[in-house]
Amino acid sequence: MSGQMVLIVLLASAVVMTMGLSLSKKSTTETKIDTDEELLKQAFNTAESGIDYYLATGTTGVSAYSSPDGKSVADVTIKDIGNTSVLDFGEYTFQNTGSFFWLAAHDEDGNVIPNDGNYTGSTVDICVNSDFSGALKIDYFYNESGVYKVKRWGYNLGGGSTVNNFETKIPGACSDGRYKYTFDLIDKPILLVLTPIFNSAKLALVGTGNFPIQGQEISSIGRIGDITNTVGVNRSVKGLNRYKLPMFMLEGITAAGNIVGGT
CA atoms of 27 and 5, how far apart (whole Å): 33
Is residue 107 situated within a structural domain?
A: yes
Most confident of 11-15, 70-74, 229-233: 70-74
Whether 245 is in a domain gets the answer no
Distance from C-alpha of 32 to C-alpha of 10, rounded to nearest angstrom? 33
Q: Which residues constitute the domain of residue 142?
A: 83-213
Q: Specify the DSSP element, H or E, that contains 221.
A: strand 215-224
For residues 197 and 184, is the Cβ–Cβ distance under 8 A?
no
Of 22-26, 168-172, 258-262, the range with the highest mean pLDDT is: 168-172
Q: How far apart are CA 57 and CA 51, in angstroms?
A: 10
Helix residue ranges per DSSP H, the chain? 2-57, 247-254
The reply to whether 137 falls in a domain is: yes
SS3 helix, strand, coil % of the chain, rounded to 5? 25, 40, 35
The pLDDT assigned to 93 comes to 94
- Is the pTM higher than 0.95? no
Q: Tell me whether residue 199 is in a domain.
A: yes
CA dihedral 237, 242, 247, 251 (to 10 degrees): -100
182 forms beta bridges with: 125
pLDDT for 159:
72
Q: pLDDT tens for residues 182-206?
A: 999 988 899 999 999 999 999 999 9
96 φψ region: left (φ > 0), alpha (ψ -120 to 50), beta (else): left
Residue 208 pLDDT exceeds 70: yes
Q: What is the pLDDT of residues 244-263, one digit of tens each?
A: 877 666 666 555 444 333 33
* Position 99 pLDDT exceeds 50: yes
Tell me what pLDDT residue 13 has.
60
Question: What does the alpha-carbon distance between residue 125 and residue 100 come to, in Å, rounded to a whole number?
Answer: 15
204 Cβ contact partners less than 8 Å away, ≥ 6 residues apart: 86, 87, 88, 89, 126, 127, 174, 178
| Average pLDDT rounded to a whole number, residues 205-219 | 93
Residue 60 falls within a domain, yes or no? no
In terms of average pLDDT, the best of 5-9, 11-15, 135-139, 156-160 is: 135-139
pLDDT digit string, tens, across residues 36-82: 788 888 889 999 999 999 999 989 999 899 988 888 899 999 999 99
Higher local confidence (pLDDT), 7 or 46:
46
**pLDDT for residue 117 is more than 80:** no
In the prediction, which pLDDT does 137 show? Answer: 93
CATH number of the domain at 202, please: 2.60.120
Report the chain's mean pLDDT, rounded to a whole number: 82
Burial string for 85-120 (b: 16+ CB within 10 Å, else e) reads ebbbbeebbeeeebbbbbbbbbeeeeebebeebbbe
pLDDT of res. 21: 56
Say if 236 falls within a structural domain: no
Q: How far apart are CA 50 and CA 198, in angstroms?
A: 37
Residue 260, pLDDT score:
38
pLDDT at 30 (0 to 100): 53
The pLDDT, as a whole number, for residue 176 is 80
pLDDT-wise least confident of 43-57, 113-127, 219-233: 219-233
Q: Note whether residue 8 is domain-resident.
A: no
CA dihedral (183, 186, 192, 198) positive or negative: negative
Q: What is the mean pLDDT of residues 111-129?
A: 86
Please state the domain count of the chain. Answer: 1
With respect to residue 188, please indicate whether it lies within any of the assigned structural domains: yes
Question: What is the rounded distance in angstroms from the CA atom of residue 133 to the CA atom of residue 80?
Answer: 32
Instruction: Give the pairing type, strands 201-207 and 92-93.
Output: antiparallel
